[in-house]
Amino acid sequence: MAEQQAFHPGVSLAGAVDLEALKHQVKAEPGQAGGAPAAGGYVIDTTENTFQAMVQTSATFPILLLLWVPTDDRLFDMARQLGNAVNQLNGQIQLSRIDIASNPSIAQVFQVQGAPALFALINGRPMPILQGLPSAEEMQQIVDTVIPNLVAAAQQAGVTGSAPYSGDPNSDAANSASAASAQEQVPPEHQEAYMLAQQGDYAGAAAAYEKVLEADPNDARAARERAKALLLARSANANVREVRAAAADNPDDVEAQLAVADIDMIGGQIQDAFDRLLDFVAAGHKADIEPVRKRLLEYFTIPEPTDERLKRARRRLATSHVLTRLLTLGTV
């Protein structure tokens, strides 16, 4: 957000005692009377043990990260409003809450000195939103504008999956209906593949989605999720710096270019991935068009069909493929 009020941390990680924060400490656990709102629905609590898995799921659905202290009552209303806004979107986005007092290494990853801090996470890429206690106006802007824009940005990047529903935080019958609706968002035939992906077994998820496609070749959702699973199975744990260096050092090596295109896709740089591979073929690597074409067709299932980047890339690939066929036949 463009303008932010002065940062008044609820907890300091720099070693100083925050006397103001001490006045606002409560002993109640989240969900207890007088305590912070409980996790549930599309709101989860993340620790150092589950952090990496949470980051990986941001390739499937966007995540809003709240770095907070669940015993600081100044943050309760913010957490409640964020949770309500996220739960109303029925799985289009997830709220991940991280207690930085208990998990200081995560705060260090995001280079924050205190709580609260708010980030978005799409395809593993963090984007800062706000640091410090928001004003009522800022909070309304986050709920009304920022969160819907994050969902739209994720969809533009091909991140269109649904977050898992983890139970009703209020045990309210009306919200139970929402839970049933959320469960239905993952088709029964996708359940095995979906759970494998959630567990980080991307190769297994891709194989399971392949079985779904064998039964129904027109299942666009299965094709998209299979492509993302294959992408993550190949490159989720790749060393980005090494992959990019290898591509720069070996401009004629198709495998090096495919690897760095994967990195671009995971980072949400869809246009860069398309252009890299299409430019590689256009630069005279006609003999490598088949592996490039196969990878691009896989990528093409990830964005929305109406995405203009997809339309342009399809046209370029079709032109390159026709030209290569003509060259092979010796007609041009």
CA distances from residue 262 to 36, 147, 182, 214 in whole angstroms, order as listed? 40, 27, 30, 25
CA distance 256 to 249: 9
Reported as type and span, the H/E element at residue 128 is strand 125-131
Task: Flag the least confident range among 66-70, 161-165, 313-317.
Answer: 161-165
H helices of the chain, in order, are: 19-22, 51-57, 76-87, 104-109, 136-141, 147-156, 173-183, 191-198, 202-215, 220-235, 240-249, 254-266, 270-282, 289-299, 308-329
CA gyration radius for the chain? Answer: 23
At 253-308, the pLDDT tens digits run 999 999 999 988 876 778 899 999 999 999 988 889 899 999 999 999 988 888 88
Q: For 88-146, what is each residue's pLDDT tens digit? A: 998 899 999 999 989 888 988 888 878 899 999 998 889 999 999 999 999 999 999 99
State the pTM of this model: 0.55
- CATH classification code of 19-178: 3.40.30.10
pLDDT score, position 174: 37
Would you state the pLDDT for residue 33? 74
In this prediction, residue 218 has a pLDDT band, given cuts at 50, 70 and 90, of very high
Q: What is the dihedral of CA 244, 246, 250, 254, to 10 degrees?
A: -80
pLDDT at 259: 94
- Asked if 94 and 56 count as a contact pair (C-beta separation under 8 A), the reply is no
Question: Per-domain residue ranges for the chain?
Answer: 19-178, 186-237, 238-332
Bridge partners for 12 per DSSP:
114
Per-residue HEC secondary structure of 224-251 comes to HHHHHHHHHHHHCCCCHHHHHHHHHHCC
